[in-house]
Structure 1
Amino acid sequence: MANSNVRIESLEECIRARHSIRQYTNKAVPQELLLDSLALAQLAPSNSNIQNWRVHFASGAARDRIVEDMLVTAKLKGPNVPALPEHFKHFRSEFGHELYGARGYNIPRHDKEGLSNARLRNYEFFGAPVIGVISMHQDLAMVDAMSVGMFVQTLMLALTERGLGTCLQVSVAGYPEVLKRGFKLEHDQMILCGICIGWPAVDAAVNNMHIGREDIAKEITFLTE
């Protein structure tokens, strides 16, 4: 079931409860909850302690302006995001089947308009009251993006503990010019992803999907000799 506003007590509970939320209530998010969560996330490790993550948030009228600009642009052209290598594409296919299928948005495959409208929800940030972009300085290395990832994971777990839902978004990063303009980012910032934050609509089917994971044994190697 999707997160509620019941506080979760343990780290394991937070990890297991965290999942992508794609429908939110219109209840406002108190800024102190964001600040508390960000203060915890700031403790994430980074290369030489450079703390290279940058987060820009928008809510209210600022959020609405950004969403409007994103939708106008998304209807004119597709996002500029790198294509997945062939041997990873089956993951996206399986995920799409779940998301748009009976256990998610429940849109028939022949309903092209319905599918198009559902995809545009990405650029509405799924109706979340708080939206954001995660970035780092463009001159930093790939290893420094890993530091940002640890910051973001810590942030999401802290928000989950407080009953808030989140969704990281790659697709919105495909319109960097819109995001940089809307969020007033410095020119030297490289956008890594977007993020939605809000109170989950707990009864929405799309928030209650259970997306599986690979057997961890496929992903690791132990050497003993």
Structure 2
Amino acid sequence: MADFDQLVKARHSIRKFLSTPVPRTLLNESLALAQFAPSNSNIQPWHVLIADGVRRDRLKEALMTEAKRAAPVVPQLPEEFKHFRQELGAEVYGAMGIAREDKASRAVAVLRNYEFFGAPVVAIICIHQDLGRADDMSVGMYVQTLMLALTERGLGTCCEVSLAGYSDILRTELNIQPELVIICGIAIGYTDPDFPGNHLHVGRAPVEHNVVYLDS
């Protein structure tokens, strides 16, 4: 139990990776383990495309070009939830030594999303357009299982919803079929231990913030 507790707490978003290649054996082991994630009616609705090497480099160049030209198309948070993103941004940029008023440095940091923070591997997670919320939940459980498996094997990850904001680029570069909805990307690689932002562990609300016991 203690090992599992430590594993869950150890997983956090990495925002600078080493260029060290990721062994395919570690990826395959993690992907095989993630297949055991629960899913509605055992549909196993996740569709995963993994890019490394030349394909990853080509995708990065296309994303960076578009990101410099136009903002991503992403759903806006409802007003009452926007403060979460603002608070997270303050923590992340603060850990990287970027002041709130330093808009130029913040813009550079945002662009690093589209080069996968230097990760040598990026996975794109999709689901069929005809499936519903229960199946979205199944994909979420798959993603968590996959990231925990990668963490256990010494790899860092960063779940990147921002990549879905340039879905046309992803579809073109990775030949993603039109019936698949792009949910997010996952940057995968070895953590750069010298990057201050990689030592940030964002706090969580107490359990009672999200859970209500209904006693008899």
TM-score range, shorter chain: over 0.9
- 1:132 aligns to what SS in structure 2? strand
Tell me the distance in 1 between the aligned counterparts of 2:135 and 2:214. Answer: 27
Tell me the distance in 2 between the aligned counterparts of 1:187 and 1:109. Answer: 39
Matched, 1:191 2:196: no
Pairwise CA distance, 1:72: 0.8
Task: Please name the residue that 1:24 is paired with.
Answer: 17
* Higher helix proportion (structure 1 or 2): 2
Question: Runs of 4+ in structure 1 displaced over 6 angstroms?
Answer: none
> Percent identity of the aligned residues?
52
Matched, 1:215 2:212: no
| 2:45–2:135 contact (8 Å) kept in structure 1 | yes
Structure 1 length normalisation: TM-score? 0.93
> What stretches of structure 2 of length at least 5 have no aligned partner?
none
State how many pairs are aligned. Answer: 215
Matched ranges for 1:1-225 at <5 A: 10-101=3-94, 104-225=95-216
Task: After superposition, give the CA deviation of every residue in 1:144-192 in whole Å (9 maximum; x if it has no partner).
Answer: 0000000010000000000000000111111111111112211211001
Task: After superposition, give the CA deviation of every residue in 1:68-121 in whole Å (9 maximum; x if it has no partner).
Answer: 0001111111111111111111111111111111xx221223322211111100
RMSD between aligned alpha carbons? 1.1
Tell me the distance in 1 between the aligned counterparts of 2:109 and 2:203. Answer: 22
Tell me the distance in 2 between the aligned counterparts of 1:88 and 1:76. Answer: 28
> What stretches of structure 1 of length at least 5 have no aligned partner?
1-8
